[in-house]
């Protein structure tokens, strides 16, 4: 029982840490969305198409160099594919 | 032409900013994965099931209180559904 209580207490602590990480992640994702919106606005005058598959590939490839684990490259790419999809479709 | 060059230059600057944000996001996602793995390891001794839909719902609901935009709630939840899916399946 003491063991169970101890483990539950530790889980609560780790969850509080995750909550704090989520605050920072949400903040950074919104900052990233701001930059994406600013780029989208500039693309017509830069004579660039709205969708740039080469840039998307560049971002996905760069993830491997940034990744120190414990996530595997596949895990991170799965998350980033959703991030890039959302950023592409985001409403101003 | 000057206009086009100017816009392209600004886009490069915004992309450099996005690259720097991605470094921070990847780092935080890995920190989050570490916490998830630690929690998963404790769950048997805490006598908790490995999958906790209530905790997942709590995380998704909390996003709205953290979100200052420009992302919409739906955008953020779509990203987080993928994050939670990956974290759930992550290999130690």
Give the pLDDT confidence score for residue A13 in this predicted structure: 98
Query: How many other CB atoms sit within 10 Å of the CB of residue B75?
Result: 24
Q: What is the ipTM of this complex?
A: 0.95
| pLDDT digits 0-9 by tens, A18-59 | 999 999 999 999 999 999 999 999 999 999 998 899 999 999
Interface test with chain B among A1, A18, A37, A40, by most B beta carbons within 10 Å: A18
Query: Taking a C-beta distance cutoff of 8 angstroms, is the pair A73, B35 a contact?
Result: no
Peptide bond into B67 cis (omega under 30): no
Min Cα separation A3/chain B (Å): 7
Min Cα separation B37/chain A (Å): 9
Region class of A69: left (phi > 0), else alpha (psi between -120 and 50), else beta: left
| Residue B90 reports pLDDT greater than 90 | no
């Amino acid at each position: 029982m003491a063991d169970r209580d101890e483990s539950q207490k530790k889980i609560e602590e780790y969850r509080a840490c995750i909550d704090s990480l989520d605050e920072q992640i949400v903040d950074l994702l919104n900052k990233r969305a701001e930059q994406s919106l600013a780029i989208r606005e500039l693309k017509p005058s830069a004579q660039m198409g709205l969708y740039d598959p080469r840039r998307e590939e560049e971002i996905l490839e760069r993830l491997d160099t940034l990744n120190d684990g414990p996530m595997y490259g596949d895990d991170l790419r799965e998350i980033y594919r959703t991030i890039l999809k959302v950023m592409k479709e985001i409403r101003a």
